[in-house]
A = this chain, B = another copy of it.
Amino acid sequence: MVPRYTRPVMAAIWSPENRYRIWFEIEALACEAMAEYGAVPKEAAKVVREKGDIALAAFSDADLARIDEIEAETRHDVIAFLTWLAEKVGPESRFVHLGMTSSDVLDTCLAVQLVQATDLLLKDLDDVLAALRARAFEHKHTLTIGRSHGIHAEPTSFGLKLAGHYAEFVRNKERLEAARAEIATCAISGAVGTYAHLDPRIESYVAERLGLKPEPVSTQVIPRDRHAAYFCTLAVIASGIERLSIEVRHLQRSEVREAEEFFHPGQKGSSAMPHKRNPVLTENLTGLARLVRSAAIPALENVALWHERDISHSSVERNICPDATIGLDFALARLSGLMNKLLVYPDRMAANIESLGGVVHSGEVLLALARAGLSREDAYRIVQRNAMATWTKLGTPECRTFRENLDADPEISGRIAPDVLDAAMNSRQHLKNIDALYEKVFGEPGPAL
C-alpha cells in the first residue's frame, strides 16, 4: 500500500522489526517449553531468553543488514535469522528451533501479526460505529426522501439511513471477530506436521502464551482456508465502506446537496474550476474498497497448496497481508472521521421531498383508496394516472401538484375525505415506527422528538 494510504500504527505491525521480535518470541517460548518437558537444559533456555531479549531490545538497522547478508547466501529467511540469533546468543543457540521447521515460526508469526492487525481494525470499526450512532441519533427525526432505483420513493428518516449502515457495521464487526478467531492459531508441529521431533505440549505452551489456539492439523503450514476466510471478510467490510461512500457521494451531487464532506479551509477542489467542492474522500474510499476486495481471489487461490505444502502462498501474503489490512485500516479511519464531520442539510432534504409535487405519497394514497373500497387494480390505475400527470409536467408552468390532480379526479371525488388525503400526504407518518426501529438496531429507542 502506498504511503499516502498508510497509517504508521498499522505499518509497524508489518515491519521487519516486529516480525523478528515475534520470531524470537516464538523460538524463546518453544525453547522454554522444551526445557519444561525435558528436551533442552533449563539453563540453556534461560540464556536464550536473556541474551535474545537483549539483542532484540537493541535491534538496529545493522542487525537488519546482517540478516539480509546471511539470507543472500542461504536464500532462506528463517535460517538467516537463526544464524544471526546464534551470533548473539552463543553456543546455547544450538537448543533453539530444535526439531522445528521454518513454517512453525513463519505461520505462527503471521497469526500473531494478523491478530495484532485485526485488533486495530476492530478498534477502527468501533470508531465507525460510534460516529454512525451519534449521527443517527442526531438525525433520528430529520425527514429525507427515501430512494429506490435512484427515484424518489417515500419519506424516511436520515437517522434511519445511518442506522442501517450502523447495523451493517455491527455485522461487520461480528464477522471480523469470527475471522480473528479463524486466524488465531499456532503451529509448532515440525516437518509435515507429525510432531515426530517435537512434543505436542510445546505447541500448547507457545500457543497459550501468544493468545492463540493450537492448529488441529498443521501439515507444516497452517491451512490457508483460514486466511482465505479472513481476506473474504475484509472484502465484505470493504464493500460496506463502499456502500456508505456511494451514499455520501450521491447526497453531495450538485442536484441533491443533502450532505457534504467537510471542506478544509485552503482546500482546492479543482485546478481549473475554483467553484468545485468534490466528495473526494468518499471517492477515495470507493477505490480503496476495490483494492481491499482484490485480495480475496488470490487468498482463495492460495488454499489449494500441493500436498503438505508448497510456498506459492508466500509471495501473495507478503503483499496482501500488509496491503489489505493497511488499506482497510486507513479506509475505516477516514470513514469515521468523515462521518463525524459530515455536513448535513436538513432544509435541503425537506425541499427535495417536496420537489416532485407530492407524488412520493402515492403509496399511502393507494392504501387509502383501497381502504375506501376500491379494488387494488383500480386504485393503482387511478393513483398512477394522477401521479404521472404531475411527474411529466414537473418544472413547467402547467404542472399541478399530485394533490391538485387527485382533488380534480372524478373517479376519486366523494370517495375519500380531504383529511384522509391530508394524513396520507403527511411525511411525518413515516416516522411512526422510528422508536421501534432504533430499538432493534441500538437496543434503545434513541432521543425523543
Residue of chain B at shortest CB distance from A396? B347
- B255/A146 in contact, CB under 8 A: no
Q: How many residues of A contact B (CB 8 A)?
A: 172
* Known contacts A76-B267, A172-B225; A151 and B367 CB within 8 A of each other: no
- B148/A276 in contact, CB under 8 A: yes
Residues of B within 8 A of A86 (CB): 376-377
Q: Binary interface profile of A, 430-448, with partner B (CB < 8 Å = 1, else 0)?
A: 1111101100110000000
- B150/A253 in contact, CB under 8 A: yes
Residues of B within 8 A of A288 (CB): 315
C-alpha gap A250/B448 in the complex (Å): 36
C-alpha gap A351/B355 in the complex (Å): 14
- B250, B252, B370: the one within 8 Å of A94 (CB): B370
Q: Binary interface profile of A, 155-176, with partner B (CB < 8 Å = 1, else 0)?
A: 1110011011001100110010
Q: Binary interface profile of A, 277-307, with partner B (CB < 8 Å = 1, else 0)?
A: 1111001101111110111111011111111
A375 close to B (CB within 8 Å) = yes
Residue of chain B at shortest CB distance from A239? B303
Residues of B within 8 A of A200 (CB): 433, 436-437
Residues of B within 8 A of A362 (CB): 273-276
Min CB distance, A196 to chain B, in Å?
5
Residues of B within 8 A of A147 (CB): 192, 253-254, 306-308
- A290/B316 in contact, CB under 8 A: yes
Considering only residues 217-259 of chain A, those with a C-beta below 8 Å from chain B are 217, 219-220, 223, 225-226, 228-229, 232-233, 235-236, 239-240, 242-243, 245-247, 249-250, 252-257
- B311/A246 in contact, CB under 8 A: no
Min CB distance, A369 to chain B, in Å?
10
Residue of chain B at shortest CB distance from A214? B440
Residues of B within 8 A of A305 (CB): 243
- B246, B303, B348, B383: the one within 8 Å of A243 (CB): B303
A20 close to B (CB within 8 Å) = no
Residues of B within 8 A of A195 (CB): 432-433, 436-437
- B146, B197, B272: the one within 8 Å of A99 (CB): B272
Q: Which of A112-120, A384-392, A414-422 contacts B (4 or more CB under 8 A)?
A: A384-392
A413 close to B (CB within 8 Å) = no
* Known contacts A216-B167, A315-B287; A275 and B359 CB within 8 A of each other: yes
- B352/A255 in contact, CB under 8 A: yes
- B272/A190 in contact, CB under 8 A: yes
Min CB distance, A283 to chain B, in Å?
5
A412 close to B (CB within 8 Å) = no
Q: Which of A1-9, A29-37, A47-55, A122-130 contacts B (4 or more CB under 8 A)?
A: A1-9
A18 close to B (CB within 8 Å) = no
C-alpha gap A440/B204 in the complex (Å): 12
C-alpha gap A39/B215 in the complex (Å): 56
Residues of B within 8 A of A312 (CB): 283-284, 286-287, 290
- A168/B308 in contact, CB under 8 A: no
Q: Binary interface profile of A, 88-122, with partner B (CB < 8 Å = 1, else 0)?
A: 00010110011111100000000000000000000
A329 close to B (CB within 8 Å) = no
Min CB distance, A320 to chain B, in Å?
8
Q: Kindly list the 3 A-B residue pairs having the minimum CB-CB distance in the complex, ordered from nearest.
A: A146-B192, A275-B387, A287-B315
Instruction: Give me 24 A-to-B residue pairs in the complex whose CB atoms sit less than 8 angstroms apart, sorted by A's number.
Output: A2-B318, A86-B376, A100-B271, A101-B272, A101-B273, A148-B309, A149-B311, A153-B192, A160-B193, A167-B216, A175-B229, A196-B363, A216-B440, A242-B303, A272-B366, A273-B363, A275-B387, A278-B311, A283-B311, A287-B312, A290-B316, A291-B316, A296-B300, A351-B395
